[in-house]
């Protein structure tokens, strides 16, 4: 769909900007997610983050996305069966949605997402001519948690909100879902995501499959020894889920 049809041609960058406090966004989450975020130390960390983000906004910073918790609105903790970890949101106007690797359909596909679809079409060649979705919310609604370790970023400044407290929140989310009974697949692409493997090993109480490869970024997607392109992760994920009594993900 064209941006002009959506009435977004003039100011698409305003659609995905954080406008104020995190508190109403947390209050709008389901009771299950609220319970997770209200536990200590997550609640205190969120309060500190909220204060810092409001200071940045007051200083004129443009912060993305509008709802850092959007991924949590699309599936409940007990329904999550696949986790795909990113580092931080896209930092361009109109891009970040609150879902790792995803952008709205009217935004051009970023390079990493192009490589994700290149891999999908290798694994499922029968769908190679099907137009790809840029918005991955359909995955999230099937139980795929598309989680960045930092949930906000400033315009044009990659990793600008790293080490500001978001990592406590994303780790707390991961610890919680690891304690639930649903079998889970973790797709750990790149060193940043693979650094979560010890946390997975420590807290998992149900069967877990961890799939490791390079990041889908053009800088690493085809590099040895574990290139992203050709990793077969999407089919491996679905085969494992079916073996554990779970419905596979419709990726395309």
Q: Which of 97, 82, 104, 87 is nearest to 217 (CA)?
A: 87
Task: State if pTM tops 0.85.
Answer: yes
Sequence-distant (6+) residues with CB within 8 A of 54 are 20, 21
pLDDT digits (tens, 9 = 90+) for 42-60: 999 999 999 999 999 999 9
> How crowded is the C-beta side of 132, counted as CA atoms within 13 Å?
21
Judge whether 75 and 83 are in contact, CB under 8 Å.
no
Active site (annotated) includes residue 88: yes
At residue 7, the pLDDT reads 35
Q: What is the pLDDT of residue 203?
A: 97
Catalytic residue among 10, 50, 79, 88: 88
| Residue 228 Cα distances to 69, 217, 221, 237, angstroms | 27, 9, 5, 15
pLDDT recorded at residue 177: 97
For the chain, which residues score pLDDT lower than 50? 1-10
CB 234 within 8 A of CB 144: no
Kindly give the pairing relationship between strand 184-189 and strand 82-86: parallel
Q: Which residues of 146-166 are buried (b: 16+ CB within 10 A; e: fewer)?
A: bbbbbbbbbeeeeebbeebbb
What pLDDT score does 15 carry?
Answer: 77
- Which letter, b or e, does each residue of 168-189 get, where b requires 16 or more Cβ atoms within 10 Å of its Cβ? bbbebbbbbbbebebbbbbbbb
What's the confidence (pLDDT) of residue 126?
Answer: 94
Residue 11, pLDDT score: 52
pLDDT at 14: 59
For 168-184, what is each residue's pLDDT tens digit?
A: 999 999 999 999 999 99
Which DSSP string do the residues of 114-155 spell out, in sequence order? HHHHHHHHHH-GGGTTSPPPS--HHHHTTTEEEEESS--EET
At 130 the pLDDT is 86
Six-digit token string for 112: 């990493």
- Positive/negative CA dihedral, 81, 84, 88, 92: negative
Number of H helices and E strands in the chain, helices first, is 11, 6
């Amino acid at each position: 769909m064209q941006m002009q049809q959506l009435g977004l041609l003039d100011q698409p960058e305003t659609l995905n900007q954080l406008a104020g406090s995190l508190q109403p966004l947390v209050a709008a989450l389901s009771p299950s997610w609220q319970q997770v975020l209200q536990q200590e130390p997550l609640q205190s960390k969120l309060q500190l983050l909220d204060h810092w983000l409001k200071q940045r906004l007051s200083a004129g910073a443009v912060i993305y996305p509008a709802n850092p918790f959007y991924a949590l609105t699309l599936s409940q903790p007990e329904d999550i069966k696949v986790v795909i970890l990113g580092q931080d949101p896209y930092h361009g106007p109109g891009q970040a949605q609150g879902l790792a690797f995803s952008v709205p359909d009217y935004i051009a596909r970023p390079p990493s997402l192009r490589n994700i679809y290149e891999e999908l079409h290798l694994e499922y060649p029968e769908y190679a001519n099907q137009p790809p979705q840029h918005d991955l919310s359909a995955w999230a609604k099937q139980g795929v948690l598309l989680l960045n370790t930092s949930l906000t970023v400033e315009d044009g400044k990659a990793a600008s909100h790293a080490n500001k407290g978001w990592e406590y929140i994303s780790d707390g989310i991961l610890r919680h879902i690891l304690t639930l009974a649903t079998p889970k697949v973790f797709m750990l692409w790149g060193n940043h995501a693979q650094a979560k493997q010890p946390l997975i090993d420590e807290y998992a109480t149900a069967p877990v499959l961890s799939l490791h490869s390079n990041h889908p970024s053009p800088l690493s997607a085809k590099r040895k020894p574990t290139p992203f392109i050709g990793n077969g992760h999407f089919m491996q994920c679905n085969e494992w889920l079916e073996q554990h009594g779970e419905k596979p993900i419709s990726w395309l």
